[in-house]
C-alpha cells in the first residue's frame, strides 16, 4: 500500500516554530516516526513538503499517476485559504486525510475554516504528530489493508 504524506508551508520548521503549539520534534523526526510505523505495517510512505501552493498541487496530481492508495495532508495555512488545493484533491479522487498537529478549532477564528476538508474522508487534529499515524490507521482500515 502506497501512501503519500504531504506537508505544506512552515512544516519544515517543526521543532523550531512555536514549539508550544507544534512540539519539539523536527520534520526529520516526524518522517522517521512515520517511516517506522509504516515499516511495521507493510505500507510504503512517500514524503513531500513544500512552502509553495503550486508545488503541493503538482504533488497531489502526481499521486494519481503513481496510483497512490492514499494521501495524508497537512496543508498548513493553505488549509484556510486554498480552493486550489481543495480542487486538486477532488481532481485525483484518492482517499485523503487532513491532519493538523494543533487543534485548529481552539485557536484563532480564521483557522476554523478548512477548504480542503470537504474533499477529505477524515480529519485528525490536536493529537500532535501522532495525528499522522492516526490518519494512516484510518486509510489502512478503510481499504482493509495493514494493521
Ligand atoms: C497546522 C495549523 C494551521 O493553522 C497552521 O497554519 C499550520 C499548522 C497544524 O498542523 O496544526 O501551519 O496545520
In order of start, what are the domains of the chain with their CATH numbers?
2-143 (3.40.50.9100)
Whether 22 is a known active-site residue: answer: yes
Question: What tens digit of pLDDT does each residue of 31-54 get?
Answer: 999 999 999 899 999 999 999 999
> 2 and 139 in contact (C-beta within 8 Å)?
no
Q: Which of 75, 97, 123 is nearest to 3 (CA)?
A: 97
Whether 138 is a known active-site residue: answer: no
- How far, in Å, is the centroid of ligand 1 from the Cα of 80? 9
Question: What tens digit of pLDDT does each residue of 105-116 get?
Answer: 999 999 999 999
Q: Which of 22, 20, 122, 28 is nearest to 70 (CA)?
A: 122
Q: Which of 37, 64, 100, 132 is catalytic?
A: 100
- How far, in Å, is the centroid of ligand 1 from the Cα of 123? 13
Share of the chain above pLDDT 90, in %: 95
Amino acid at each position: 500500500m502506497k501512501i503519500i504524506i504531504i506537508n505544506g508551508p512552515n512544516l519544515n520548521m517543526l521543532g523550531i516554530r512555536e514549539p508550544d503549539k507544534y512540539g519539539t520534534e523536527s520534520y526529520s523526526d516526524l518522517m522517521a516516526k512515520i517511516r517506522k510505523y509504516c515499516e511495521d505495517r507493510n505500507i510504503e510512505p512517500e514524503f513531500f513538503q513544500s512552502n509553495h501552493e503550486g508545488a503541493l498541487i503538482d504533488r497531489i496530481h502526481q499521486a494519481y499517476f503513481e496510483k497512490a492508495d492514499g494521501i495524508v495532508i497537512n496543508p498548513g495555512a493553505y488549509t484556510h485559504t486554498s480552493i486550489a488545493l481543495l480542487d486538486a484533491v477532488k481532481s485525483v479522487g484518492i482517499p485523503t486525510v487532513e491532519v493538523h498537529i494543533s487543534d485548529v478549532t481552539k485557536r484563532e477564528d480564521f483557522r476554523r475554516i478548512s477548504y480542503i476538508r470537504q474533499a477529505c474522508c477524515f480529519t485528525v487534529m490536536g493529537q500532535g504528530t501522532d495525528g499522522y499515524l492516526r490518519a494512516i490507521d484510518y486509510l489502512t482500515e478503510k481499504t482493509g489493508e495493514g494493521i
